[in-house]
Amino acid sequence: MILVTGGAGFIGANFILDWCADGDEPIVNLDKLTYAGNLGNLASLKDDPRHLFARADIGDRPRVESLLREHRPRAVLNFAAESHVDRSIHGPADFIATNLVGTFTLLDAVRGYWSTLDEPERSRFRFLHVSTDEVYGSLGPGDPPFSETTAYAPNSPYAASKAGSDHLIRAYHHTYGLPTLTTNCSNNYGPRQFPEKLIPLVIHNAVAGKPLPVYGDGLQIRDWLYVGDHCAAIRAVLERGRPGETYNVGGSAEQTNLEVVRTVCRILSDLKRGRDYAAQITFVKDRAGHDRRYAIDATKIRRELRWTPAETFESGLERTVRWYLDNEAWLDAVTSKEYQRWITLNYTAVPSTA
Ligand code: NAD
Ligand code: TYD
């Protein structure tokens, strides 16, 4: 069996659903259930013996150790994190606690467990850390995309906390020989993403007739990847990746934020034969320290592990918009009081004049 952390969140839940659709190996899902964790994401696995849920914090060492002893996983995949850049600007402490200290605690507990295994279990074991391209900082317009050898230059508290955790993973492989793997992926989108992130926020607001907030001039670039393609990349790295290596994952789908928002509006207009949603676009105050451009060079994972994305940006986005239109109950459930509090905190600024 494998142990997954953060499996009630966006990418972790998609990973578990895909995993269970594909085989019989059980999963232990260790998740703290923060505002971003939602067991409703895994409702279809309720009563399925392959999915064992444990509400726990990756920073709770005794609990992590006891789960490892009890279930004896052949691999641990760490998705658990505070994941939203804007929240890291308003309150960085939780990001340091979970992404840095929590990952350290998990990693060290896993090292202890791993050292008790017999060969060949020890050499077969894997610790896979799910990370981000944001650790590399921001690119200029003509710069080549991030590769695995690009120097780290994190700019937000979120990116810095993830960069720190990546360094710990590297050190645990180098120093102790723990068979680690790290993936650094670009922006994901798809079903079950919490509507504080750009794409689900825009879908949600568009349908509700609310403003579609675009930070600054909207010309910041992200390299978008459909979540199912990210999950397939993680499975490929888990099964075929070389211990100690890092793999960049991305869809080669660079888009400005304004292009993304306009494409969502066009798909919505086509699907709902509705109004001109683009008229709701509103330029608002820019994010502090906003990175201008991210882009991933995924040559290594494509060549070495024969991974390739199945969705284009257009096809993945259409699937995503359809999912949100078909799952209003899911959206209603996650847009709770805490969600309203966040929206008020982050979007109190008057529209910008940019
Ligand atoms: P998410 O915020 O949707 O989910 C995070 C999950 O982790 C939630 O279920 C939450 O309850 C859980 N969690 C938070 N703190 C925890 C703790 N201390 N102990 C146990 N569980 C805890 O995040 P996501 O978008 O699914 O991202 C998953 C991982 O992928 C993160 O590590 C993130 O850095 C990385 N990543 C995300 C993206 C993206 O575009 N979303 C891109 C690249 C990498
Ligand atoms: P986001 O989904 O928060 O991901 P990240 O910050 O990890 O890239 O944001 C994607 C881009 O969209 C980023 O450049 C910020 C921008 N953005 C907006 O313009 N308006 C918004 O309301 C949000 C949430 C993001």
Segment-wise mean pLDDT, segments of 10 residues, the chain, 354 residues:
98 98 97 97 96 98 98 99 98 98 99 97 98 98 98 98 99 98 98 98 97 98 98 98 98 97 97 90 98 98 98 98 96 92 86 50
Cis peptide before 144 (omega within 30 of 0): no
- Nearest-CA residue for ligand 2 atom 14 is 220
**The pLDDT value given to residue 348:** 83
Measure the CA–CA gap between 162 and 194, rounded to whole angstroms: 19
CA atoms of 76 and 182, how far apart (whole Å): 12
Ligand 2 pocket, 81 CB below 6 A?
A: no
Helix, strand, coil % over all residues of the chain, rounded to 5: 50, 15, 35
- For residue 213, give the H/E element and its range: strand 212-215
Four-point Cα dihedral 195, 262, 267, 188, nearest 10: -40
Opening angle at CA 113, ends 108 and 118, nearest 5: 140
* pLDDT attached to residue 354: 44
Q: Which CATH architecture does the domain made up of 2-189+226-250+290-310 adopt?
A: 3-Layer(aba) Sandwich (3.40)
pLDDT reported for residue 273: 76
Query: Which residue puts its alpha carbon closest to atom 3 of ligand 2?
Result: 197
User: Which two structure tokens, joined as six digits, stand for 328?
Assistant: 């209003």
Which residues have CB under 8 Å from 332's CB, separation 6+? none
Amino acid occupying residue 14: N
Spatial separation of the C-alpha atoms in residues 60 and 48, rounded to whole Å: 26
Q: Ligand nearest 217 Cα, by number?
A: 2
Strands 225-226 and 188-189: parallel
Residue 264 CB: number of other CB atoms within 10 A? 26
- Residue type at 107? L
- For the record, the structure tokens of 317 come out as 């986005």
Q: Give me the pLDDT at residue 328, please.
A: 92
Question: Which H helix or E strand runs over 108?
Answer: helix 103-115
Domain ranges of the chain: 2-189+226-250+290-310
Model pLDDT, residue 195: 97
Place of tokens 């659903």: 17
Q: Which residues line ligand 1 (CB under 6 A)?
A: 5-6, 8-12, 31-34, 36-37, 57-59, 79-83, 98, 102, 130, 132, 162, 185, 187-188, 194
How many Å apart are CA 147 and CA 246, to the nearest integer?
10
